[in-house]
Amino acid sequence: MTKAPVSVSWRARNDIASRPWPGTTREYDLFKELAVGLVVVALLVLGLSAVFSSPDEPTVTLKSWALTDPADFVATATTELGGTSGTAGYGPPYNSTPDATQKLGPIDLQSLSGVRLPIDTANDFVIGPLQTLPTPPGAIDEWTKASDTQRASWTMAYGDALSKAPDNDPAKVPPGDYGPVPALAGALLAMAQQGTLDPVLSARGSFYNTDYKASILFLGDGGYFHGLADAQHLTGDQWGMMNETGNYPGQSWLWLFSALYQVEPFKSSPNADVLVVLSMVILTLLLTLVPFIPGLRSLPRRIPVHRLIWRDYYKRR
């Protein structure tokens, strides 16, 4: 006689799984279990906290960046002026750079919001902060009066010169047609090194502000920030999404999200983020709706881990 396969259906029917258990029972005190659980977890939490504490790597500031790696700071300020930085070419929600968005075939979710958090890198990161100085540099006038073409030419020439200079040191850049760019970048460097750029970029003309996107985007456009993250094994190719500074566990539950970024076709795709998010949404929905998916819901029957879980019950059948 062939034994009927065990049902893994979610439906409530007139079977053992659907009816109140009519068999033998055992004493089981839920509140006692909760109380014991609270004590055990408290001991674990207190013990782990006392022994390992928690990570707290200090913030990186524009000041610390400008003091530690002035060459990188000046090169980044130049790209912000020239509109060639990562932020300048990002697209929505910061600006409307053409063809900058990630797409899913013809679907462009990134553009749906429009430019809702506008960032003009030249004005917001360089010119605007310099104008808050007691004596703004005269180079601002030359910059504001120049055409877009002229500005692009100056920043490109200075950017090239910086990349070719020994140690990318602005002081070792040969003379050239850079217009006011060296003066503007130099003034911003001095402002940052004095510690006055941090509050100006954070507050953006207000007294109260909780939005740090300008500072974070500016930091992210440079190489210094990425270098620090790399040293703390936090970058994408280091599975950084699930890591934490130091030797602490991070968001390990994001392992699959992080893993997808390590493999093709996601790894090299210009639309990696939207593809990974979509994949994770689909996988999460599959797991959530597994009771309704034939085949998937049968896995517990085909791979009998339940024999281990209920081994006492099966032993006494």
Partner 1 sequence: MTADRGPVSAAEDGEARFSTWTGKTRGWALRRLPPDKLLPEGQPSYVSSWIYVFGMGAVAAFVYILGSGAVLALNGPTWFHVSGLGRFINSTHLWSVELFFMFMVIHLWGKFWMAAWRGGRALTWITGMLAFVVSIVTAFTGYLLQTNFDSQWIAFQAKDALNAVGVGAWFNVADLGQILMWHITLLPLAVAVVVALHVVLVRMHGVVPPLEAATSDAQLRSAAPIPAVDGEDMK
Question: Rule CB under 8 A: is residue 131 a binding residue for partner 1?
Answer: no
Cβ closer to partner 1: 19 or 164?
19
* Closest to 230 (Cα-Cα) out of 300, 221, 239: 239
Question: Rule CB under 8 A: is residue 259 a binding residue for partner 1?
Answer: no
Q: What are phi and psi of 104, to 5 degrees?
A: -115, 85
* Per-residue binder mask for partner 1 (CB under 8 A), 201-230, x = binder: ---------xxxx--xx-xx----x--xx-
Q: How far apart are CA 65 and CA 79, in angstroms?
A: 16
Q: What letter does residue 249 receive in the DSSP assignment?
A: B
Q: What are phi and psi of 223, to 5 degrees?
A: -90, -20
Rg (CA), the chain: 29
Shortest CB 176 distance to partner 1, Å: 33
* Closest to 92 (Cα-Cα) out of 73, 71, 74, 111: 111
Question: Rule CB under 8 A: is residue 45 a binding residue for partner 1?
Answer: yes
* Closest to 126 (Cα-Cα) out of 71, 57, 62: 62
Cβ closer to partner 1: 169 or 314?
314
Question: Rule CB under 8 A: is residue 58 a binding residue for partner 1?
Answer: yes
Q: What letter does residue 32 receive in the DSSP assignment?
A: H
Position among 34, 171, 256, 282 found at the interface with partner 1 (CB under 8 A): 34
Cβ closer to partner 1: 145 or 302?
302
Shortest CB 171 distance to partner 1, Å: 29
Cβ closer to partner 1: 10 or 172?
10
Q: How far apart are CA 118 and CA 294, in angstroms?
A: 48
Q: How far apart are CA 84 and CA 89, in angstroms?
A: 6
Question: Rule CB under 8 A: is residue 1 a binding residue for partner 1?
Answer: no
Segment 179 to 198, residues that bind partner 1, using CB under 8 A: none
Q: Which amino acid is at 29?
A: D
Question: Rule CB under 8 A: is residue 29 a binding residue for partner 1?
Answer: yes
Shortest CB 37 distance to partner 1, Å: 4
Segment 237 to 256, residues that bind partner 1, using CB under 8 A: 240-241, 244-245, 248-254
* Closest to 72 (Cα-Cα) out of 171, 162, 161: 162
Question: Rule CB under 8 A: is residue 98 a binding residue for partner 1?
Answer: no
Segment 5 to 24, residues that bind partner 1, using CB under 8 A: 5-24
Position among 54, 135, 149, 268 found at the interface with partner 1 (CB under 8 A): 54
Question: Rule CB under 8 A: is residue 267 a binding residue for partner 1?
Answer: no
- Check: CB of residue 140 under 8 Å from CB of residue 184: yes
